[in-house]
Amino acid sequence: MPLKVPAGLPALQTVIDEGNAVDILERSTANTLRIALLNLMPMKETTEADFIRILAASDEEIELTLLKLDTHTPKHAGPEHMERYYTSFGNVRESHFDGLIITGAPIEKIEYEEVTYWPELCTIFDWAKEHVTSTLFICWAAQAGLYQKFGIKKHLLPKKMFGIFPHTIARPEMPLFDGFEETIYVPHSRHTELHREEIVAEERIELLSESELSGVYIMHEKGTRNFFFTGHSEYALNTLDGEYRRDVAKGLPIELPLNYYLDNDPAKGPVDRWHGTACKLFGNWIRNYCKQTRI
C-alpha cells in the first residue's frame, strides 16, 4: 500500500534505486495511519531507508513523520537535512500518532542519566502513553524504555553480540506473529543485554521471543500495545558487513558476525535470513496494533 514521506527525502530515492517497489502516497486519506519515527541513530539516512523498505511492504496506507529531539543536535547529519525533513518533538506535543518507532543509539555504555537528552526522552516515553496507540522501542531504546518504566537495568557483555541469531516464539497465536515460522532469525549488534530473570520477574512484562544465544528479543508491556525489540529486524542486508569492515579497518576487536556470511566467508557476502520475517513483523504490528479498532 502507499507510503507518504517528507517531500524530497533522499532515502526514498535510495530505496527505489535499489529496485524496491514503493507506492507513493501523495495525500493522506481517512484510512492513512500516522507513524512517527524518532531516529536516534547517527547515520540518519541509512536508518530512514531501513524503515522505508519495511513500511513500504505493509498493506496499510502510511504517512511517516520523522521526529527529532529538541535538546540534541546530531553529529553525523547535516543541519539542512534535519531542518528540511524532520519535525521537532515540541511541534507534535498535541498530536496523536497511530504508531511510534523509537530507534536504538550507539550509547549503550553510557549510564542513562548521563545521556544529554535523557530528560527529553523520558518526556517522550510518558507523552506516548496518551498520544500514541502503539509504540515500538528498538535495541537501546528498548533497554532505555524498560529502565524508565520498570527499573530494569542493562548489563555489559564481555564481547559484542553480533550476527544473525535464531529465536523461538512463546505465543505464536498472537497477531504480532501471524504467518511466522517456528524459528525466526534476527540481527543483533550490541554491547549490552537484558537479563532474562529480571524480565520474567516483572509481572507487567510478557516475554514473547528469545534466543539461547542472544537472549531476550521481544517483550510486551501487558495492558498496552507497546513492544520492546532488542534486535534490529529492520537492518538492511549489508549493515552488519559494513560494521564488521569498519571495525576491522579501525583495528578494533571484532569477530565475524554469526550466521551472516555465506560459508562464514566475508568475500562471499551475507545471506538474507531475516528480511521476510521483518516485513511480516512490522506489517503485523501496524495492522493489528496501530489501528485503534484492533486488539
State the catalytic residues.
139, 232, 234
Rounded CA separation 65/217 (Å):
26
The per-residue pLDDT for range 258-295, each reduced to its tens digit, is 999 999 999 999 999 999 999 999 999 999 999 866 44
Among 88-92, 163-167, 251-255, the range scoring the smallest mean pLDDT is: 251-255
Cell numbers found for residue 115: 545521556
Q: Could you name the CATH architecture of 3-237+272-290? A: 3-Layer(aba) Sandwich (3.40)
pLDDT of residue 295: 40
pLDDT of residue 30: 87
Contact 205, 251 (CB under 8 A): no
Q: What's this model's pTM, rounded to 2 decimal places? A: 0.96
The per-residue pLDDT for range 113-154, each reduced to its tens digit, is 999 999 999 999 999 999 999 999 999 999 999 999 999 999
The per-residue pLDDT for range 235-244, each reduced to its tens digit, is 999 999 999 9
Rounded CA separation 254/75 (Å):
24
DSSP state of 258: B
Amino acid symbol at 82: M
Backbone angles phi, psi at 216, to 5 degrees: -70, 145
